[in-house]
Amino acid sequence: MTGNSDEPDKPSVDFDEPLSVAPIRVLGHGRAAEARLVQAEFASGRSHVCVEKVFRPGLLTRIIYQTAFQAPFGYQFSRDAILSCFYRRRVAASLIEIVGLNLRVSRPLYVRFDAESKAFVLGAEWIDGRGILPVEADRFRVRRFLSKVFRHRTKVPPKPPQEIEELLGVMRQLEQLFCDTGLAGTGWQVCTRAMVSTANLLRTDSGYVAIDLESGIPAVLVPRYLWHSLRLRSFPMFDDVDETGLRAWIDNHSVRISERIGRKKLRELCDDVEKLIAHTTAWKQAEPALGRNGLKIFSRKTRQASAARCLEIWRLRGDVDTETVLKIRSGCNGLYRCVYTLGLVPGRAGRFLQRLVGHRAFRNKVKRFVSETEFRRKQIDEYIAQKTSHWIKAGRLTHGRDLSKRLVIFGLHWLLALCTPRGMHRWLTDADVRRNSRAQAFLMIVSGRFQRAYGQHLIHIAIEDWERCGRLSHDEAEVLRDQSDSSKLQEYAQCFGLHLGLKLFDPLVYPIKIAGITAFVTTGNPLYLLTLLVLPTLRTLITLSRMLSRHRDPFTEYGEALIIGAIPTVGSLAFPVQISASCPELSTFLLRDAAARAGRALPIYGGKDSRIEIGAIRLMDFAIETIDIVSNTTSAIRRRFLSSTAGKAEPPQLLRLPDQTWDGLVDEQLRLLAIPEVAAQSDQPSVAPLQTPHRKAA
């Protein structure tokens, strides 16, 4: 993948664009951009491993930006906008160095337009750091509070230290610096009241590093930034710069700055400030943005800037050719109005009409498509191949699928890609996936070995994820693995696998839930909401079947699981709670992992290393402490129960069929589980095969 030569004229910049860029791996997806690790080669012979932010926002982010500013997402198509990102990072880095804060900014390296993604890219320094670590589980949170309220002298362990408090302190200093110096819009990215801002800094051995100073949504959720937007007459605020305040701060502290960083760096800072202001102003003026420009949108200057911005976007997207651009720039306003009006048609239909009018090569291609059979067939085959490749990368299709000769089947896939999730699309169209799902569902019923292995496999995946993120040390992870593999947890791991195995029925249960909710909204009859209880009912039946197979005190062994499993949404936590009686460390980890997943799944506010995720993990302390209190209260009963059943035989399986009958099928499915779908669809190495002991056939 290389930079695109079909770009607007570039002003002089302070960087060299790479000659070629080779992707290494995707690091993550944000609301506005995808971060990927790349190897960049430059004309000077230098080679850098760096991070590229490809600004291709999702649908919700695009809608929010379009509503706020009546324009496409700025960083995706505006060269002035992406250059403002470049110089904003340089200015922010200099300001941090001047005041002596114990952190730094990921250094910007270059800006380019990526032809494949149809979006601008910001290349920046690769930071080998980690996100925030959740505080360890606090098992005395409520008891510590009660001891303070009632002034009880019972000794309670102190509150465990929280890394997030240190991070929030650094963020407050950085936010205050940005607001004081005129980079108020950038302060939103490190605002402690923005739930996802904690993910914008990484911790390294030398301190914190800010890796993301580019907003995804306007700063409208915190009153402080609403005030700044009103003061700057730029509502809503989106990475705005107070040019007067920034210049005044530099002038007022010029002597101190010169002493701190030297005269040469002071001149470079002043140059970066002027370029930041110039590019930000050009970017903002080219958008209608009624809340910012007001009646200025009717001025000649604003209309000219907006027209130039539209031409730039059309050209970068390939909607108009060079000939059309030259005609419009020479004063052909009728052609501009025509292309602009056609673009108001929503969706791809509008872009098709724009290209039909503004791109001669596209018009000729359409004519040939209509009149020439061979050309039409070739274009259809290329389009089908392109879409098929995209679906394979997204995991909707398997490798090797050829849909070029099956137009009806391709049309079915096209509709499913529009209206179904990836998993359901794959399940409905892939016979192998359906066969494996049926096999796994069947083994969940008849094979205790598969049930145990499946539960242990899911637990190991969660442990590996936390260890990879630095949230667990190697020794802690090994302890959890040993506990999950211990013989006394085989029964609970088996039941845990059974409960999570119900997710295999999601392609069938999901439409039932949607139908029930729709019927309730239409008729108002609450009985239709019973469709939401399909999985809780199945979990309860599974737990009851295991209880009935026990001969003594089944409620002591399965009581918590029976109650929690009947609750929608959180019922999958039934056996992590039950496990606490035998292995509190493993139970605590599973509960905190489930809370972290819920926090990351929350739209807009959630995400990896966000305050929502950290807060969800901390919120689980109440459940952990409650379980701890109950376990301590019933410890005598549990000891007596465990001692009386120590030599008890393993309970019979649900259908009482011997495991050996299914050894071949179990081995096949365990091999498939050991190869994650993502690894199967990419060139990355898969994880090691899942190892599970099993009995040989007699």
**Closest to 259 measured CA to CA, from 68, 98, 465:** 98
**Closest to 662 measured CA to CA, from 467, 449, 477:** 449
**Closest to 246 measured CA to CA, from 282, 272, 219:** 272
Q: Which uninterrupted H or E stretch holds 657?
A: none
Which tens digits make up the pLDDT trace of 228-281?
Answer: 888 888 889 999 999 999 999 999 999 989 988 899 999 999 999 999 999 999
* Bridge pairing between strands 103-105 and 207-210: parallel
pTM of the model: 0.76
Q: How far apart are CA 89 and CA 146, in angstroms?
A: 47
Kindly give, in sequence order, each residue whose CB lies less than 8 Å from that of residue 245, ignoring residues fewer than 6 positions away: 181, 182
**What confidence category does residue 676 fall into, taking pLDDT thresholds of 50, 70 and 90?**
low
**What confidence category does residue 573 fall into, taking pLDDT thresholds of 50, 70 and 90?**
low
Q: Which long-range contacts (CB under 8 A, 24 or more apart) does 468-472 make?
A: 469/130, 469/131, 470/130, 470/131, 470/133, 471/133, 471/134
Please say whether the beta carbons of 162 and 218 come within 8 A: no
Q: How far apart are CA 120 and CA 238, in angstroms?
A: 18
Q: Which long-range contacts (CB under 8 A, 24 or more apart) does 335-340 make?
A: 336/307, 336/310, 336/311, 339/314, 340/310
Most trustworthy range by pLDDT among 13-17, 174-178, 441-445:
174-178
Residue 397's CB is within 10 A of a number of other CB atoms, namely: 22
In this predicted structure, the answer to whether residue 16 has a pLDDT above a threshold of 50 is yes
In this predicted structure, the answer to whether residue 49 has a pLDDT above a threshold of 50 is yes
Residue type present at position 685: P
Predicted pLDDT of residue 2:
39
Please say whether the beta carbons of 156 and 140 come within 8 A: yes
Which tens digits make up the pLDDT trace of 410-420?
Answer: 889 889 888 88
Which tens digits make up the pLDDT trace of 179-189?
Answer: 999 999 999 99
**Closest to 399 measured CA to CA, from 682, 116, 671:** 682
Most trustworthy range by pLDDT among 263-277, 326-340, 652-666:
263-277
> Which tops the pLDDT comparison, 120 or 393?
120
> Which tops the pLDDT comparison, 587 or 37?
37
> Which tops the pLDDT comparison, 49 or 642?
49
Name the average pLDDT for the chain.
82
Q: How far apart are CA 427 and CA 397, in angstroms?
A: 10
Residue 75's CB is within 10 A of a number of other CB atoms, namely: 27
**What confidence category does residue 581 fall into, taking pLDDT thresholds of 50, 70 and 90?**
low
Q: How far apart are CA 468 and CA 472, in angstroms?
A: 8
Residue 623's CB is within 10 A of a number of other CB atoms, namely: 21
> Which tops the pLDDT comparison, 382 or 524?
382
Residue type present at position 25: R
